[in-house]
Structure 1
Amino acid sequence: MQGNNLPSPPQVISLYQSNNINSMRIYNPDQPTLQALRGSNIQLILGVPNSDLQSLSDPSTALSWVQNNVFNFPDVSFRYIAVGNEVDPANGDPSQFVLSAMQNIYNAISSAGLQGQIGVSTAIAFSLLGQSFPPSQGSFRGDVTQYIDPIIGFLVQTNSPLLANIYPYFSYSGDPTDISLEYASFTSPSVVVTDGPYEYQNLFDAMLDALYVAIEGAGGWSLGVVVSESGWPSDGGFAATLDNEFTYNSNLIQHVNGGTPRRPNGPIETYLFAMFDENNKSPELEKHFGQFYPDGQPKFQLNFGAGRAWDVYAQNNTSVYRESISSV
């Protein structure tokens, strides 16, 4: 949504439907988008902006928020409420309000008997991990355990998954000496990393398994993970080409039908970032994650349908706007 040349919400809904895209993520409760979603049967991850977390730590404010943005749209298919995106205490984010906001929104949803139908979670950045290699040693940073451990406990209690933004691109572009393009883009012809009994042929699985291990270390043995963002840019940075974006995204769509070495029973619910290239974003790299150009033409052909639930998300955050597409 961070562009000055993007289609209107009704046009976006039509584009989703014509491409068999059945899920969407928005990063704040944009009213025109919610109106356009009415009756569409597109499943929605609705985001709570980080700027709203403090106010929603008040139960009455949280109830009003849910009334205005969820209960007022009974014909919108809400899947999850993502309470905050990539909140990190080290960045000065309002991390102390995330859990209470989650609890209050969950209680508001429960007051209408919708618990179990709409999950309440938060979307974390992979950078909350202090160690991710080898995957069996995955653990959260010491400075975030007091933040993330109670959230994991809440998610286990409410049977909601943790949302996580996972980008092999950034790991690869930050260390191309030790990480190969093939390993990052699902094109390695053979196993690259052996970690005890587990063998890794792609970086996505290694990152996700490291997160699973970290979650288990925090008591979340039963906790599932939804990959709420993943993607590859087509321009503006190292290895950012249209060919690489297509290779990563098309392989990701196929790959998440299965699981990871540690949790082989897939599929993995995954959201592909982003719906459109967005010319108002910065730095330059961030402008080029779209699957579609602003005029609605695809940058390349991806199969979102064919009897599968490939989904897309449009995203909207007053401070950081992104968009994505989801698989499964």
Structure 2
Amino acid sequence: MASLFARTKRFSWTTLLLLLELFTIVLHTADAQIGVCYGMMGNNLPPANEVIDLYRSNNIRRMRLYDPNEAALQALRNSGIELILGVPNSDLQGLATNVDTARQWVQRNVLNFWPSVKIKYVAVGNEVNPVGGSSWQAQYVLPAVQNVYQAIRAQGLHDQIKVTTVIDTTLIGNSFPPSQGSFRGDVRSYLDPIIGYLLYAGAPLLVNIYPYFSYSGNPRDISLPYALFTSPNVMVWDGQYGYQNLFDAILDSVHAAIDNTRIGYVEVVVSESGWPSDGGFGATYDNARVYLENLVRRSSRGSPRRPSKPTETYIFALFDENNKSPEIEKHFGLFNPNKQKKYPFGFGTKRNEKVVIDDFNATISLKSDM
């Protein structure tokens, strides 16, 4: 058979370049910026090594882990899975008040596993609120973040492993319209220094975003299609930005709230989002399936306010966890504890892509379980 290059008079290099560009775009779309949170609050869950196999067999390439569980970290070695490694709120005071404690924590839970475990972020604290039940912990968040950061920086790893914290959207005071998003006045003294640190360290802010709770708390004003990504038209216009779904509107209100501090540009990673299949108003199997499938698809693009980069997003959660409370918290899983899929959709390309280019007959074959 004559080679392709021997027949260039019948082949358009412009066509080849266009096809390769298309191939790159398709791959980028298939590699959605999606991860899954691995919670362990269940008494019927499989061991960590089987969980890591479940991630890999389902092509889930990112994980959020809420504490440095040793079995999970050992199982993650050489898996290729990128990791958000959590620092529990119960550890904040010790890490904030003792530099040696922070160094030891980093040695034990980060350096002992790096680089065979691809730790991308260390999330110091989860949803600490300076007003309310966890307010006593708020004073420790930034010092703990800084001490962990300095311990990682001392090893020259601060560009590879970013140290940050996780907030929820109750810290947003105004969210509508999204461009007027702002943090509550009573949390600014807590958040502004954290945002300043994130700007300095080049780290993102991790935010848990749940359209479900916005919808279930106000179904009169928020339509179900708007919450589930199924609205056929733009539902909210905010100047030049059109919003067809509630997730983008909430996310952009966070972007605007950061911008409106006038501290500087900080990226946002959605560290949790999900929809329960039971246990509350609007919590049905079909609603959860539609929301989660659309969330996976949506993660390959940005928001109206930040359109140029896909939104890194982590689904909550891997399993239904029967030790959680209240009842609704038990029904966010993508999988049943027996490792069977709860929903039919998948998580992107299976890595057996191929490009076949032959004269004027050029095809691109991609296999995906989406």
Q: Same fold (TM over 0.5)?
A: yes
Match of 1:180 in 2: 223
Q: In 1, distance between residues paired with 2:61 and 2:345? A: 14
Match of 1:140 in 2: 183
Deviates more, 1:161-170 or 1:30-39: 30-39
Structure 2 residue aligned with 1:51, among 78, 87, 90?
A: 90
What's the secondary structure of 1:65's corresponding residue? helix
Q: In 1, distance between residues paired with 2:220 and 2:73? A: 45
What amino acid is aligned across from residue 286 of structure 2 in structure 1?
Answer: D
Match of 1:71 in 2: 111
User: What 5-or-longer segments of structure 1 have no aligned partner?
Assistant: 309-328
The question of 1:36 aligning with 2:75 is answered yes
**Over alpha carbons, which structure has the higher Rg?**
2
Q: In 1, distance between residues paired with 2:74 and 2:326? A: 31
- How far did residue 259 of structure 1 move? 1.1
Once superposed, which parts of structure 1, at least 4 consecutive aligned residues long, lie more than 4 Å away? none
- How far did residue 307 of structure 1 move? 5.6
Matches within 5 A, 1:60-139: 60-74=100-114, 75-93=116-134, 94-139=137-182
The question of 1:245 aligning with 2:288 is answered yes
- How far did residue 217 of structure 1 move? 1.4
RMSD: 1.0
The 8 Å contact of residues 59 and 350 in structure 2, kept in 1 or not, is answered as: no
What amino acid is aligned across from residue 56 of structure 2 in structure 1?
Answer: Q
Matches within 5 A, 1:159-238: 159-238=202-281
- Structure 1's 171 and 282: CA in aligned 2 closer, same or farther, altered over 3 A? same
The 8 Å contact of residues 156 and 222 in structure 1, kept in 2 or not, is answered as: yes
What's the secondary structure of 1:80's corresponding residue? strand
- How far did residue 215 of structure 1 move? 0.3
Q: In 1, distance between residues paired with 2:180 and 2:118? A: 38
Residue-by-residue CA offset, 1:243-263 (whole Å, 9 max, x unaligned): 111100111111121111111
Residue-by-residue CA offset, 1:105-146 (whole Å, 9 max, x unaligned): 010001111011001000100110011011111110111000
Q: In 2, distance between residues paired with 1:305 and 1:210? A: 28
- How far did residue 305 of structure 1 move? 2.6
Structure 1 residue aligned with 2:314, among 271, 295, 313?
A: 271
The 8 Å contact of residues 121 and 163 in structure 2, kept in 1 or not, is answered as: yes
Q: In 2, distance between residues paired with 1:95 and 1:281? A: 24
Q: In 1, distance between residues paired with 2:77 and 2:234? A: 46
- How far did residue 220 of structure 1 move? 4.5
The 8 Å contact of residues 258 and 265 in structure 2, kept in 1 or not, is answered as: no
- How far did residue 302 of structure 1 move? 2.1
Q: In 2, distance between residues paired with 1:82 and 1:62? A: 13
Q: In 1, distance between residues paired with 2:103 and 2:323? A: 33
- How far did residue 32 of structure 1 move? 1.1
The 8 Å contact of residues 41 and 76 in structure 1, kept in 2 or not, is answered as: yes
What amino acid is aligned across from residue 104 of structure 2 in structure 1?
Answer: S
Identity %: 61
Q: In 1, distance between residues paired with 2:177 and 2:149? A: 35
The 8 Å contact of residues 68 and 86 in structure 2, kept in 1 or not, is answered as: yes
- Structure 1's 307 and 260: CA in aligned 2 closer, same or farther, altered over 3 A? farther
Match of 1:320 in 2: none
Matches within 5 A, 1:235-314: 235-306=278-349
Q: In 1, distance between residues paired with 2:141 and 2:315? A: 25
What amino acid is aligned across from residue 46 of structure 2 in structure 1?
Answer: P
Structure 2 residue aligned with 1:25, among 64, 78, 83?
A: 64
